Amino acid sequence: MGTSTTSGPNPAREKQFVIGRFPGFATTSWVFLLYLYIPIFLLIIFSFNASHSATIWHGFSLEWYLKAFANDDVQRAAVNSLIVAFSATVVATVVAVFAALILARGGRFRGRGLSYGILMLPMTMPEIVTAVATLSFFTAIKLDIGLGRVVIAHTVFCIPFAFLPIRARLQGMDTTLEQAAQDLYANEWQTFRYVTLPLLMPGIISGAMLSFIISIDDFIITLMVAPAGSTTLPLYIYGMVRMGVTPEVNALSTVMLAISLVFVSTSYLIGRKKQAVTPKK
């Protein structure tokens, strides 16, 4: 959309001087979005390529998906990834719910800012620092529990990702329903169980889903702390990418992209339901 001042025959689409519109901004934005998505689309398209070459199009095929799924190493890595992501998500979400309740509803108290800072720490620290620190710690206390090391490390960095949507939900929540429940002689537990928790659910689901993909996708921390035999999908893909470009990697990457996409979209849609559930006064 340029800034030409010609008054065309269509007055509705006439581009006259619009306050706050700058030339080139629209082009930059659309070019930027193309830059963001073209590589991803090409990856997806070429994962369906019927040839051994990963980069020349020969026709549609599901061959590489079948190959990737049939691969024992891929299966093992996928199972590991799911175990880790599931355990880390459950623990992180549960502790995040309680932390969010206290921080969003608990009023002001000493150490509130510090608590918030510590909760956000895993998000602000460069991943490589967290990775080597965790590795040093596990080595120092001689913690040798295989995949459990990965689960612990993932739980730590999943907490802030679970916490933020839950807290956002709590902050935007109308308390009139809870007050009504208490007026009707619901005790504190009943109010929480039958009013607060259901209202909070979209935030909890949204936080859990974000934790899940953050865990499934993590690479740097897993690379450092995972002992031999605890390969996750990203580690497996890294090993293959270093060997070169193969159509199998394209297929596997596309599957992982699809998982992320489904989870983020669902989390986003659930988060948007907020307006429908709690009408604003």
Partner 1 sequence: MRLLQSTPMRRVLGLGPALGIIGFFMVVPIAIIVVFSFMKSNPYGGVNPEFSLEAYKQFLFERNLMDELVFNAAYLRIFGRSFLLALVTTALCLLIGFPTAYYMSRQPARRKNLMVFLVTIPFWTNLLIRAYCWILLLRDTGIINNYLIKWGIIDEPLTLLYTNFAIFLGLVYTHIPFMVLPIYARVEKLDFNLLEAAHDLYASRRQLMRHVILPLAAPGIIAGCLLVFVPCLGDFIIPNLLGGGKHLMIGSLIQLQFGGSRNWPFGSAAALILMSFVLIAMMIYVWGPGRKMKPEGGA
Judged by CB under 8 A, the chain residues 91 through 150 that form the site for partner 1 are: 91, 94-96, 98-99, 101-103, 105-107, 109, 115-116, 118-122, 124-137, 139-140
- Answer yes or no whether residue 151 interacts with partner 1 by CB under 8 A: no
86 binds partner 1 (CB under 8 A): no
- Picking from 249, 242, 236, 208, the residue whose alpha carbon sits closest to that of residue 96 is 208
Shortest distance (Å) from residue 98 CB to partner 1: 4
Question: Is there binding between residue 187 and partner 1 (CB under 8 A)?
Answer: no
Site for partner 1 in 189-228 (CB under 8 A): 191-192, 196, 210, 213-214, 217, 219-220, 223-224
Nearest distance from residue 195's CB to partner 1, in Å? 9
Nearest CB to partner 1, comparing residues 83 and 264: 264
Torsion of CA 36, 240, 230, 159, to 10 degrees: -10
Which residue stretch of 4-12, 15-23, 59-67, 198-206 sits at the interface with partner 1 (rule: CB under 8 A)? 15-23
What tokens does 231 get? 């390969």
- Choose between 9 and 281: whose C-beta lies nearer to partner 1: 281
Q: DSSP letter at 195? A: I
Does 50 help bind partner 1 (rule: CB under 8 A)? no
- Of residues 159, 200, 205, 208, which one binds partner 1 by CB under 8 A? 159
CB of residue 235 vs partner 1: minimum separation in angstroms? Answer: 9
Q: Which is nearer to partner 1, 9 or 36 (CB)?
A: 36
Cα-Cα-Cα-Cα torsion 255, 257, 262, 268, nearest 10 degrees, comes to: 170
Name which of 9 and 229 has its Cβ closer to partner 1: 229
State the virtual CA torsion across 93, 95, 97, 102 in degrees, nearest 10: -160
Between 68 and 96, CB nearer to partner 1: 96
Is residue 210 within 8 A of residue 159, CB to CB? The reply is no
Q: Which residues are CB-contacts of 147 (< 8 A; sequence separation ≥ 6)?
A: 80, 83, 84, 226, 230
- Closest by alpha carbon to 226, among 106, 99, 81, 27? 81
Q: Does residue 2 touch partner 1 according to CB under 8 A?
A: no
**Cα 53 to Cα 63: distance, rounded to the nearest angstrom:** 13
- Euclidean distance between CA atoms 207 and 162, whole angstroms: 4
Please, what is the minimum distance in Å from the beta carbon of residue 160 to partner 1? Answer: 8
By the rule CB under 8 A, 65 interacts with partner 1? no
Which of 68, 85, 152, 226 is close enough to bind partner 1 by CB under 8 A?
A: 152
Instruction: Identify which of 138, 161, 121, 160 has the alpha carbon closest to the alpha carbon of residue 226.
Output: 138
Stretch that binds partner 1, among 5-13, 50-58, 63-71, 199-207 (CB under 8 A): 50-58
Nearer to partner 1, 89 or 134 (CB): 134
The residues, ordered by sequence, that sit 6+ positions from 123 with a Cβ below 8 Å of its Cβ are 157, 160, 161
Contact status, residue 100 vs residue 167, Cβ threshold 8 Å? yes
